[in-house]
Structure 1
Amino acid sequence: MGKHNEFGKEGEQIAVDFLIKNGYKILCRNYRFLKSEIDILAKKEDVLAVVEVRARSNDRVISIADTITTKKIKLLVAGAHQYIIDNELDVEARFDVITILKNKKIFKIEHLESAFYHF
């Protein structure tokens, strides 16, 4: 596995730990539907957080959150819709981004709630 893949997995675990610490219940990790993959589905109260995790070692060129394309958003929406139907959930869905910036051995975590389109 490449170093960037290892860091991506580490970033997802950091995000899961962060969400749990902040009162979320993790429902699913790496949910797949057709071409969609959702990093984390978590619930807090009656809100389903559909979480995209972005981990990088620098953000000099572009903000980490700005790396999410319109195509990726459409895939996340489709995947979230299917997850809600499959699990017969009656919740409000929200699309969050957790960015993790690694600088040497220090991690900076930012949780952007309702980062884009929700239904």
Structure 2
Amino acid sequence: MLDLYNIAELFLGCKLGEDCTMAWHNELGKYGEEKVNRYLLDMGYTVLERNWKIGHKELDFVCLDGEMLVVVEVKTRENDKVSLFELLDFKKKRNLQLAGAAYLTQKNIHREIRFDLVLVSGAEMRIEYIKEVIDLF
């Protein structure tokens, strides 16, 4: 499990001249996903899948919110000034919908599905939860 010490150590190494842009980005993303996992459980969601893949498409979380099947996309950013349109462009939304449909088919699930977004941002790793994000725009 990642912790703030490991992230700080990686961050300091990067700032000291190491070429670790992708490593920093990946570790930050993992830390954000772990924080979201705890957040979803605290909200009472049942996490069915994490990082479920089909081909090149991936669903970060597949959960149950009561009877509703929820796909949760996680975006972790250092900067807290991020536009939703940048995070979920047409292609990303379409891929989420296709992967969600594939999940329902592969698991033989017949229920409504909702697509939510969790943005984890800033130095304090603030969580912003946006329900029904694909229906918003």
TM over 0.5: yes
Which position in structure 2 is the counterpart of 1:34?
A: 55
The answer to whether the aligner puts 1:72 opposite 2:95 as a matched pair is no
Q: Distance in 1 between matches of 2:119 and 2:32?
A: 9
Q: Distance in 2 between matches of 1:107 and 1:46?
A: 29
The answer to whether the aligner puts 1:88 opposite 2:108 as a matched pair is yes
Q: Distance in 2 between matches of 1:17 and 1:85?
A: 28
Task: State the TM-score, normalizing by the size of structure 1.
Answer: 0.88
Deviations 1:1-37 (A, max 9, x none): 6011001011111111100000100010111112211
Identity %: 31
Pick the structure with greater CA Rg: 2
Q: How does 1:1-119 map to 2 (within 5 A)?
A: 2-60=23-81, 62-63=82-83, 65-66=84-85, 67-103=87-123, 106-117=124-135
Q: Which amino acid aligns with 1:45?
A: G
- Where in structure 1 are there 5+ consecutive unaligned residues? none
Higher strand share: 1
Is the partner of 2:122 in helix, strand or coil?
strand
Q: Distance in 1 between matches of 2:27 and 2:125?
A: 15
- Where in structure 2 are there 5+ consecutive unaligned residues? 1-21
Is the partner of 2:120 in helix, strand or coil?
strand
Structure number with the bigger relative contact order (C-alpha 8 A, sep ≥ 6) is: 1
Higher helix share: 2
Task: State the TM-score, normalizing by the size of structure 2.
Answer: 0.77
* Displacement after TM superposition at 1:57 (Å): 1.0
Q: Distance in 2 between matches of 1:19 and 1:41?
A: 11
